[in-house]
Amino acid sequence: MTIIELPFRATTAQACHWLAQQTGNSWTLARMIESGLTPYVWLDYDAGYPDLFGDANGGYAAPIFFESDTKRLAAGSEDVLITITKDVYKIVTQLKPPGFRRSLDELRFLKKDLERLASKLKREAEDEAEPVKIEVAKESQNGISKEQVLIAFASLVKIDLDQALCSGGCIFGDDGARVKGSAKRAKSKALWNPVTLALGLNDVYRVPLPRLKRAFNAHDFLYAWATEWNHSLALLGK
């Protein structure tokens, strides 16, 4: 079997075929989305959206990440509907109703995202083949920064997560997910255990587990925590 060479932006068919070769399993658009991959669509410059395109007068590749938009795709929609995306400067932007519609064959997946997912799945397969020894990390390394917490989880809750982290109350303090002692010298140095925090967000703020699972698949800085996250869910029977 000839291994295909992935282009920088792969079509859905190319991405599914390549992942099937890498993993030995069949892939679909729905499975790729559920695995945390972000589809993109090229938007040609539209004078009606000057702020969206900025200096990119030739257009740019817009990500489709808003939950209702991706759910619609995963459910087998006949076309692409984009209601929220990021502008050319990567700032989240809500489009004027009804949003942009594009054909399914315009969807693209980034080569780097596909390669990262394949590597992650390979590591998980190796972990299942060999029992994993979960070592307790040093306290100074056992957490992520406030900026990373906001990137991963702010869009999942209705509260002001930035303010909650600064206040250090409830699940956000030393008795919750914040690494004990990490904020003693300066609040800017505080760290949070993302696994403990995610479980707290599910328990206290009712953030659905599937959305939290996607967060651990979608951000590089959470990949190292994925094993502990999955282990915790298994212990809790979730």
Mean pLDDT throughout 36-55?
Answer: 92
Mean pLDDT, all residues of the chain:
87
pLDDT given at position 137 = 40
CA distance 28 to 16: 6
CA distance 177 to 200: 8
Of 11-25, 109-123, 139-153, 158-172, which range is least confident?
139-153
Is the model more confident about 132 or about 22?
22
Handedness of CA 47, 48, 53, 54 (dihedral sign): positive
pLDDT given at position 52 = 92
Mean pLDDT throughout 186-203?
Answer: 88
Q: How confident is the model at residue 114 (pLDDT cuts 50, 70, 90)?
A: very high
pLDDT at 222 over 80: yes
Look-up of token digits 């002001």: 160
Is the model more confident about 140 or about 205?
205
pLDDT at 116 over 70: yes
Q: How confident is the model at residue 3 (pLDDT cuts 50, 70, 90)?
A: low
Record the pTM. 0.55
Mean pLDDT throughout 87-91?
Answer: 91
